[in-house]
Amino acid sequence: MSTIYVEKLEIYTILGIKQEEREHKQKLIIDYWIETDISKAMQSDDIADCVNYRTINKQILKTVESSSYNTIERLLGVVLDIIMQSSSIEKSTVQIAKPGALRYAKNVSITASRER
């Protein structure tokens, strides 16, 4: 098993329950790890044998930018659903950080994993 890591994807969206959070998009930082078998791709050098992380990333961007969830937990579940759509992915871990969510803290983040 190998891991693909996408680091610090910055996305702006509506997220939160307070009125000011619902009025203006705010920055989220998403990190995600994809665990998959890349042994065939390592031998073939064929893109067809690879996980298309560009397509996954574009779907995450499209979905999150147009979303308007109340909780970071729900958004985390949605992002995990997007990643796990590919049958070649065995496990994924996602961390979503909300900068400035708590006074005196750089970020508040939540992390979850899903596997087949």
Render pLDDT for 45-69 as a digit per residue (tens, 0 to 9).
999 999 999 999 999 999 999 999 9
pLDDT tens digits along 64-108: 999 999 999 999 999 999 999 999 999 999 999 999 889 999 999
Write the CATH number for 106.
3.30.1130.10
Domain count, the chain: 1
Helices (H), 9-111: 19-23, 39-44, 53-65, 72-83
Question: Residues 6 or more apart from 12 whose CB is under 8 A from it?
Answer: 25, 26, 27, 28, 65
By the 10 Å C-beta count (0-12 exposed, 13-18 middle, 19+ buried), 31 is classed as middle
Whether residue 94 contacts residue 73, with contact meaning beta carbons closer than 8 Å, is answered with no
The residue segments making up the domain with residue 15 are 2-115
